[in-house]
């Protein structure tokens, strides 16, 4: 699911896409996908593309979403995977990758997704 979310974000040209493995670190979710949209319309497009692609590939819809594109940070909650789509300023300010610095980064852009040390 996390890989499907990352690939969908990539298809609509989201920037700096990261997949973090939070298993054993968080009780909220197993994986977090973090990516950046470069404008308000782009944030909307990334959200729309992720939801559409994941629904087509897995049949899943987010259980919940939080935020709106004009808030510059939206979260799609697929329970085991949370997708954070932020604008560049919000991403720098909240530094989710630093907050979860102990998480492993998942290599998702190849044929075989594997967890590497972050």
Which candidate, 100, 93, 75, 95, places its Cα nearest to that of 85? Answer: 75
CA distances from 71 to 48, 56, 60, 62, 84 (A): 16, 27, 25, 19, 12
pLDDT tens for the 118 residues of the chain, in order:
999 999 999 999 999 999 999 999 999 999 999 999 999 999 999 999 999 999 999 999 999 999 988 889 999 999 999 999 999 999 999 999 999 999 999 998 744 444 444 3
* pLDDT, position 118: 38
Domain ranges of the chain: 2-107
**pTM: predicted TM-score of the whole model, two decimal places:** 0.89
State in words which class domain 2-107 has: alpha beta
* pLDDT, position 103: 94
């Amino acid at each position: 699911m996390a890989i499907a979310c990352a690939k969908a974000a990539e298809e609509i040209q989201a920037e700096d896409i990261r997949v973090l493995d939070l298993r054993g670190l968080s009780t909220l979710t197993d994986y977090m996908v973090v990516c950046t949209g470069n404008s308000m319309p782009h944030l909307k497009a990334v959200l729309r593309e992720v939801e559409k692609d994941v629904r087509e590939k897995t049949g899943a819809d987010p259980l919940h979403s939080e935020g709106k594109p004009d808030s510059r940070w939206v979260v799609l909650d697929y329970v085991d995977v949370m997708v954070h789509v932020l604008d560049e300023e919000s991403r720098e300010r909240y530094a989710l990758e630093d907050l979860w610095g102990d998480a492993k980064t998942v290599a998702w852009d190849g044929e075989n997704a594997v967890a590497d040390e972050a």
